Structure 1
Amino acid sequence: MDIPRIFNVTESAHRIHNPFTPEKLTALGAALRLEPGTRVLDLGCGSGEMLCTWARDYGIVGTGVDLSQLFSEQAKLRAQELGVADRVTFVHADAAGYVAEDKVGVAACIGATWIGGGVAGTIELLTRSLKPGGIILIGEPYWRQVPPSEEVAKGCQAEAIADFLPLPELIASFGHLGYDVVEMVLADQDSWDRYEAAKWLTMRRWLEANPNDEFAKTVRAELSSEPLRYTTYTREYLGWGVFALIAR
């Protein structure tokens, strides 16, 4: 049970597996006014940076679930490094359908809403673990500019223009689902660069270390195409943010 190998290669040096910087993660935690002892569930937690740093900085208690064995192990090492291994737990498992044994004050899915078949399904999944009045965190792309064609949308690694909404429509959609948007922190082009461009050096170093690996052709093709694809499409058209929701 694992994610596709390409992600384990390209993001192996990432601590944050989305277009956020450490500063933005800190800002998000501060914006939520987290109290010590708050229970946080993070589905699709990646390498656990959000839970680990929030445990250190805000005193939360957390559980993270991720399908990548590599990222799950990195999360456990990060918890030990920051001295919070007694406060956060990481589970290598499929986050789809995961429900916490104890209700939490914050239930999050930061950039992995495919686990619930989209935003609405992921929100419904998260509510199963949430205390009444608790906060749901959803990380989701949106169109900074609506692509002029389906070809451009695919260049942004979407299947179609309809996959994402412009920001005002995304905000409105949360209301239609019965939630107040109570906070948001958005990525910017610099934080997108840190997420995407960091993959390129990782791929180059991996290729240098693994020239005879059967996967090398795939990684080489990715490295050869990604800088141009990203700067042509994603950087110009796609936004990303984390949205804090409370049921009405």
Structure 2
Amino acid sequence: MTEVDLPPRLTHLTFHGPLSEARAGRLVGRLAATRPATVLDIGCGWGEFLLRVLESAPGATGVGVDIQAEDLARGRDLAKERDLADRVTFVEESALGSTRGPADVVLCMGSSQALCDPEGPHDVGAALRELRRLVAPGGRVLLGEGFWQRVPTPEELARMWPGAHEGDHLPLGALVDLAVDAGFRPAWIETANADEWEEFESGYRHDVELWLAAHPGHPAAAETRLGVDRQRATWLNGYRDILGIAYLTLVPVG
């Protein structure tokens, strides 16, 4: 069985998260207005947001760090298509303890786990302290981070991802307080809306759903169907309207 036989991966997603074109444009505009010379993207994926910042900040250079080789290759192809290959580097490595800062803009969009000890629980406070270390004085951090829109019940948690528990996320107020404790001032606070979530969730599974409809007898179909049905159920029956994503534009103090 070759990769050609299997469904393509995330080709219907522009961003790897619930982020609309309109919101992305506003976020990029605010960051580019600070005239950054260097941009660091932690857990960059294919680097769509990183590339847009570079397009809007002429002369800036960027580094995207991730451990997914396939996503990084997609990012390099996108950079070539946009004539940005000489201004951006995609690196396959762990971001934990990274020495690639300080940068004028640091992006961490749904990837704070990359800055946490993989042997321990997710610690967004530790990730924020790492982001404070990686950003240059007067720079900006854009953090995309999950939060509870309301604390889920035990029954709701049981319908989410395996092992989900209340401590996986914080309420929005507590998340922002952690950012302040880490040495930031929150210059802008916004959250993904329902339309952004639905576009992301549907786009996340779109390639696989089309493939399953066209290949019902494929040797990998049963296992693939089980996985995608389970993931869809965790959203529709679990974290829908409970889990939110905040986009925090943070300015280091001092």
> Structure 2 CA distance, aligned partners of 1:210 and 1:62?
43
* Alignment-mate amino acid for residue 28 of structure 2: G
TM superposition shift of 1:51: 1.1
Q: Is the contact between residue 28 and residue 52 of structure 2 (CA under 8 Å) also seen in structure 1?
A: no
TM superposition shift of 1:112: 1.2
> Structure 1 CA distance, aligned partners of 2:74 and 2:250?
29
> Structure 1 CA distance, aligned partners of 2:11 and 2:94?
19
> Structure 1 CA distance, aligned partners of 2:82 and 2:239?
33
Q: Deviations over 1:126-147 (max 9, x none)?
A: 3343222322222111111221
Q: Matched residue of 1:159: which SS?
A: coil
Kindly tell me: are residues 190 and 173 of structure 1, through their superposed partners in 2, closer, same or farther at Cα, counting changes over 3 Å? same
Q: Matched residue of 2:175: which SS?
A: helix
1:74 counterpart = 2:74: yes
> Among residues 170, 174, 179, which one is paired with 1:174 in the alignment?
179
Q: Matched residue of 2:16: which SS?
A: coil
TM superposition shift of 1:76: 0.7
Give the corresponding residue for 1:55. Answer: 54
Q: Is the contact between residue 132 and residue 183 of structure 2 (CA under 8 Å) also seen in structure 1?
A: no
TM superposition shift of 1:10: 5.3
Kindly tell me: are residues 134 and 203 of structure 1, through their superposed partners in 2, closer, same or farther at Cα, counting changes over 3 Å? same
1:127 counterpart = 2:128: no
Q: Is the contact between residue 142 and residue 239 of structure 1 (CA under 8 Å) also seen in structure 2?
A: yes
The within-5 A match list for 1:18-167 is 18-59=17-58, 60-100=60-100, 103-117=102-116, 118-147=123-152, 149-157=153-161, 159-167=164-172
Kindly tell me: are residues 62 and 177 of structure 1, through their superposed partners in 2, closer, same or farther at Cα, counting changes over 3 Å? same
Q: Deviations over 1:162-192 (max 9, x none)?
A: 2211112212222233321111332111111
> Structure 2 CA distance, aligned partners of 1:210 and 1:114?
36
TM-score (norm 1): 0.85
TM-score (norm 2): 0.83
Count of aligned pairs: 238
Q: Matched residue of 1:244: which SS?
A: strand
Kindly tell me: are residues 77 and 213 of structure 1, through their superposed partners in 2, closer, same or farther at Cα, counting changes over 3 Å? farther
> Structure 2 CA distance, aligned partners of 1:197 and 1:224?
12
Q: Is the contact between residue 185 and residue 242 of structure 1 (CA under 8 Å) also seen in structure 2?
A: yes
> Structure 2 CA distance, aligned partners of 1:177 and 1:74?
33
Q: Is the contact between residue 76 and residue 85 of structure 1 (CA under 8 Å) also seen in structure 2?
A: yes
Instruction: State which drifts further: 42-51 or 23-32.
Output: 23-32
> Structure 1 CA distance, aligned partners of 2:223 and 2:11?
16
* Alignment-mate amino acid for residue 230 of structure 1: W
Please give the root-mean-square deviation of Cα atoms over the aligned residues, in Å.
2.4
Q: Deviations over 1:92-113 (max 9, x none)?
A: 222222221x631112211111
1:245 counterpart = 2:250: yes
> Structure 2 CA distance, aligned partners of 1:154 and 1:99?
39
Kindly tell me: are residues 213 and 67 of structure 1, through their superposed partners in 2, closer, same or farther at Cα, counting changes over 3 Å? farther
Instruction: State which drifts further: 58-67 or 216-225.
Output: 216-225
Structure 1: runs of 5+ lacking an equivalent: 1-7
> Structure 2 CA distance, aligned partners of 1:136 and 1:174?
11
Q: Matched residue of 1:80: which SS?
A: helix
> Structure 1 CA distance, aligned partners of 2:211 and 2:167?
35
> Structure 1 CA distance, aligned partners of 2:90 and 2:216?
29
